[in-house]
Amino acid sequence: MSDSTSTASGVIAEVHHEHPSYQRHHFETVDQQFDATNFAMWLFLLTEIMFFGGLFTAYMIMRNWYYPAFVEGSHQLNVGWGTANTAVLILSSFTMAMSVWSAEMRKKGMLILFLSLTWILGLAFLGIKSIEYHEKWVKHHVPGLHWSESSFLNPASDPEVYKEYHDKPLAPDMAQKTAEYFFLYFAMTGMHALHMIIGISLLTFMIFRARQGAYTTGHVTYVENFGLYWHFVDIVWIFLFPLLYLISRY
Amino acid sequence: MSEHNQQDQHNQHDEHDQEHHIVSPVIYGTILLALLIFTGLTVWMSFIDLGAWQIAPGLTLFWNPVVALAIACTKMTLVVLFFMHVKYTTKLTKLTVASGFFVFIVLIGMTMTDYFTRAWGRW
């Protein structure tokens, strides 16, 4: 299985380098293998930027067209839950970064601990999100499935939101457009939540593999690249939070 | 002396990717703290009316969304540079990341200039 190559002077040289079992034969060094997979992961994340980018662009255009509808739609979101979820997700990004560090330092116990914490925080995020989704369902704010414009035609009918914002009733044609806001709300947070679900599934798999000692042999590529994915999902939320929850107060 | 030379050669050989860089927990902790502070700041600012800038009659720039997005961009930069290790990575990856954001800005920029100028002069 040894690779051999002939140099310019015709001397046959044995160049089967000593290398760890996880280094594939077509890579010169472990570092090169790491850089190549890292680069590939970033290429995948670029496609993700463009995917979410389309949704963000749609949001900006719709918000400009139907500004009053977007403002009153946004007033239905709870800033407290949104802030809590932002904190949860940032914490999970930190524990993920610490997982990468634990793998690099070959600390198996720490790795399992931090991966598990990331897993729990990810589920906590989805839990809070489901409380919010449930509230939207109860208030008939799910366009196409369970929808009514009454909160926007008559804001006083929703005393909890009304006492905070004192929204004026929207004209019927503008009130209809709040459906656009909630459609984008569900499309964007839903796509984000789907990414979280995929991430949590991969984390489950990784925790099992970590217990077998898979990532503490010096081969950190998988943990590192999964970390990139997890942080990317965090960044998407960093933008969703102000756009959906915060900027419509003033 | 010869040992020193060898060391020099070795350094020259892989100057772009030295050893795999391990970021310390102290840096991760600092970034976590900064991100949480920026989150608090952006929520706090959203409760304050920052006013608007009347650029032209009918064309107004509201400061609240500008500040919120500026803070979001700052948080993103911290995550990308430190949590995602782009500060310590190869030039190829840095270029890849930069090109990604550039194309995203083209998407947003070109689309918005279109929509903003359709009614130009008619307000």
Q: Which of A96, A238, A244 to substitute to test the interface with B, most B CBs within 10 Å?
A: A238
Whether chain B has a CB inside 8 Å of the CB on A217: the answer is: no
Contact residues, chain A, for B90 at CB < 8 Å: 35, 38-39
For residue A116, give Cα distances in angstroms to A73, A110, A203, A237. 36, 10, 8, 21
Domain with residue A222: its CATH number is 1.20.120.80
Asked, for residue A14, whether it belongs to a domain, the answer is no
**Beta carbons of A168 and A185 less than 8 angstroms apart:** no
Percent of chain A with pLDDT over 70: 93
pLDDT at A196: 98
Asked, for residue A15, whether it belongs to a domain, the answer is no
- A156 is in which domain, residue-wise? 29-246
Asked, for residue A75, whether it belongs to a domain, the answer is yes
Asked, for residue A41, whether it belongs to a domain, the answer is yes
> Residue A105's closest chain B neighbor by CA?
B22
Cβ-defined contact of B79 to A93 (cutoff 8 Å): yes
For residue A136, give Cα distances in angstroms to A46, A103, A146, A185. 32, 41, 9, 11
How many angstroms separate the CA atoms of A66 and A64, rounded?
Answer: 6
Asked, for residue A229, whether it belongs to a domain, the answer is yes
Contact residues, chain B, for A246 at CB < 8 Å: 42-43, 46, 64, 68
Is B26's pLDDT higher than 50? yes
- How many domains does the structure of chain A reveal? 1
pLDDT at B13: 44
Contact residues, chain B, for A74 at CB < 8 Å: none
The HSE-up count of residue A187 (CA atoms within 13 Å, CB side) is: 17
- Mean pLDDT of all residues in chain B? 85
For residue A7, give Cα distances in angstroms to A2, A17, A144. 16, 16, 70
pLDDT band at A9 (very low <50, low <70, confident <90, very high): very low
- What is the per-residue pLDDT across A34-69, written as a single tens digit (0 to 9) for each? 889 999 999 999 999 999 999 999 999 999 889 999
- What is the per-residue pLDDT across A67-115, written as a single tens digit (0 to 9) for each? 999 999 999 999 999 999 999 999 999 999 999 999 999 999 999 999 9
ipTM given for this complex? 0.88
Place of tokens 């099992």: A208
Whether chain A has a CB inside 8 Å of the CB on B90: the answer is: yes
Whether chain B has a CB inside 8 Å of the CB on A73: the answer is: no
How do the domains of chain B map onto residue ranges? 23-88, 89-117+119-123
* Residue A5, beta-bridge partner list: A13
For residue B76, give Cα distances in angstroms to A239, B1, B16, B34, B70. 9, 47, 25, 11, 10
- CA A71: distance to chain centroid? 25
Is A4's pLDDT higher than 80? no
